[in-house]
Amino acid sequence: MNNITIIGAGHVGLITGVCLSDIGHHVTCCDLDQEKVDQLHTGISPFYEPGLDELLKKNVNNHRLFFTNSPEKALSDADIIYIAVGTPKQLNGDIDLTSIYKAARMIGEYATKHDVIVVTKSTVPVGTNTVIKQIIQKTARKIRNMTIVSNPEFLREGSAIRDVFYADRIIVGSDCPESAAIIEEINKPFNVPIFSTDLHSAEMIKYSSNAFLAMKISFINELAHLCEKVGADIEEVAVGMGLDSRIGGQFLKAGIGYGGSCFPKDTHAMLKMSEEAGEKLDILKAVMNVNRRQHDVLVEKAKNYFGSLKGKRAAVLGLSFKPNTDDIRESPSILIINELLKNGVSITAYDPKAMENTKKMIGEKIQYAASIEETLTDTDMVFIHTDWDEIKTFPLSQYEKLMNKPVIFDGRNCYSLNRVSAYKIDYFSIGRQPHF
Ligand code: NAD
């Protein structure tokens, strides 16, 4: 049996650790964040992800899953070492690989086995794995033979565990067929198609996939503007397009633009990579521009409706960048809130899971409510930013009841125009005709 160590117990590292232990492996997750490790020792995940706490407890109790903040403990005896640390955006937008290089140095310094395979889960620009390998070789104390495998992650927050167990594919990129075969064997119990390729192509597949998905979102968002102008309905258009199997219905949901910890940073990193390689990715540039514009759409609609927004009171429903997660990294909701504040609007917000993280990020600049009802009370307008089930099924009659004059700016097209038409609500959504 292999001893697997995962460096970084965040969204990707922890989910990977939990799922690998669930299929029978012995896994140690190492994170330098003491608080995170302390919380994991109590069997509770440091972030919200459906189904995670149950699987975490199960595998800790079965003595297959361990946590430590000591690289020394985590790496002694490990023969398969996953790197799943963050690769965030720097202030100038470029990718920050500091944690990746630190993880590589930790492996060189603390791994005690002579033969190790290092598996990179983190999203890194093409060529980074070669640098990781060089760093490990340079700092290695005990390691004699090491190979590197790129195994990029495709899980989505909010459905992460399901995404691992029922993935469309697992990408295994390596220039060493023997190591690739070992990683394929480790993943076999997931019973998911495995595509093996070379190291650089695997790195490229991750960026290309995210860029393509971002492109689908920006494409439908740009069409949404045209639909509003020509009297079409983007929801109908998306269904009709998606029925074509060459197009597919997923990621054709018009809204307030993509956010989260991956698409914004990965599109940026890919553009940078292309510039460094002397290539122009014109489509990607357009995708990113459309997305930036899309974050402004709801505020523009509100300004058109009210004239000035100064002194108005707004309710914001949804803070996370998508439903079923408490992650607010690059959430369009936070960007829109900041824009509303700049326009002199006072805000009361509600989110089923993301309020603590929002308080940490923007503090008391806004007020927080304990329910949708409380959020709506005495407000002049509502902004719907995240389509949590609780929000999209909230009865329209309640808006009528709780607000003096209900005005909704729905960034997720939660309600059908047909339903809205039965109420005295002024309703503005994305890519559809307004109702008032
Ligand atoms: P995260 O911020 O949630 O977690 C990263 C963790 O690494 C943190 O807990 C941090 O304390 C820890 N860490 C940093 N340096 C360390 C070190 N030297 N040793 C030990 N621990 C260290 O990040 P994430 O969302 O899990 O993303 C990780 C990578 O996976 C990124 O490259 C990201 O682009 C990629 N990815 C993320 C997702 C997602 O949905 N979050 C999906 C696919 C791929």
Q: Alpha-carbon distance 79 to 119, whole Å?
A: 11
**Best residue for ligand 1 mutational test, from 261, 266, 268, 331 (most atoms within 8 Å of Cβ):** 261
153 lines ligand 1 (CB under 6 A): yes
325 is in an annotated binding site: no
13 lines ligand 1 (CB under 6 A): yes
State yes or no: ipTM above 0.95: yes
Element (H, E) at 39: helix 34-41
Q: Alpha-carbon distance 187 to 193, whole Å?
A: 10
29 lines ligand 1 (CB under 6 A): no
89 alpha carbon to ligand 1 midpoint, in Å?
A: 12
Decide if 3-197 and 295-428 have a common fold: yes
- Do 303 and 135 contact (CB within 8 A), yes or no? no
pLDDT at 92: 85
Residue in 19, 30, 262, 414 annotated catalytic: 262
Give the position, in ligand 1's atom list, of the atom nearest the Cα of 265: 34
33 lines ligand 1 (CB under 6 A): yes
Return the CATH number of 3-197, one of 3.40.50.1820, 3.30.70.120, 3.40.50.1580, 3.40.50.720. Answer: 3.40.50.720
375 lines ligand 1 (CB under 6 A): no
Q: What is the mean pLDDT of residues 138-160?
A: 97
Q: Alpha-carbon distance 394 to 333, whole Å?
A: 19
pLDDT at 219: 98
Does 37 have pLDDT greater than 80?
A: yes
Which DSSP category does 365 fall into?
A: G
Q: Which residues neighbour 382 within 8 Å (Cβ) at sequence distance 6 or greater? A: 314, 315, 316, 317, 375, 376, 399, 403, 406, 407, 408, 409
pLDDT at 346: 97
11 alpha carbon to ligand 1 midpoint, in Å?
A: 6
Q: Please determine, looking at this structure, whether the domain spanning 295-428 carries the CATH number 3.40.50.720.
A: yes
pLDDT at 101: 98
Q: What is the mean pLDDT of residues 15-41?
A: 97
187 lines ligand 1 (CB under 6 A): no
13 alpha carbon to ligand 1 midpoint, in Å?
A: 7
Which DSSP category does 91 fall into?
A: T
**Best residue for ligand 1 mutational test, from 153, 171, 331 (most atoms within 8 Å of Cβ):** 153
pLDDT at 1: 72
Does 223 have pLDDT greater than 80?
A: yes
pLDDT digits (tens, 9 = 90+) for 365-410: 999 999 999 999 999 999 999 999 999 999 999 999 999 899 999 9
Overall residue count recorded for the chain in this entry: 436
pLDDT at 104: 98
49 alpha carbon to ligand 1 midpoint, in Å?
A: 15
Ligand 1, atom 9, residue with closest C-alpha? 10
pLDDT digits (tens, 9 = 90+) for 183-217: 999 999 999 999 999 999 999 999 999 999 999 99
306 is in an annotated binding site: no
84 lines ligand 1 (CB under 6 A): yes
224 is in an annotated binding site: no
- Do 83 and 100 contact (CB within 8 A), yes or no? yes
**Best residue for ligand 1 mutational test, from 5, 12, 47, 123 (most atoms within 8 Å of Cβ):** 12
> Full-prediction pTM beyond 0.90?
yes
Mean pLDDT, rounded, of the chain: 97
345 alpha carbon to ligand 1 midpoint, in Å?
A: 35
Does 305 have pLDDT greater than 80?
A: yes
CATH superfamily of the domain spanning 206-292: N-(1-d-carboxylethyl)-l-norvaline Dehydrogenase; domain 2 (1.10.1040.10)
- Reported as a pLDDT band with limits 50, 70 and 90, residue 93 is confident
155 is in an annotated binding site: yes
Share of the chain above pLDDT 70, in %: 100
Ligand 1, atom 25, residue with closest C-alpha? 11
pLDDT at 91: 84
**Domain residue spans of the chain:** 3-197, 206-292, 295-428
Sequence-ordered alpha helix ranges (H) in 145-281: 160-165, 177-187, 199-230, 234-242, 263-276
Q: What is the mean pLDDT of residues 329-336?
A: 97
165 is in an annotated binding site: no
Q: Is 29 a catalytic residue?
A: no
69 alpha carbon to ligand 1 midpoint, in Å?
A: 15
pLDDT at 2: 82
pLDDT digits (tens, 9 = 90+) for 344-368: 999 999 999 999 999 999 999 999 9
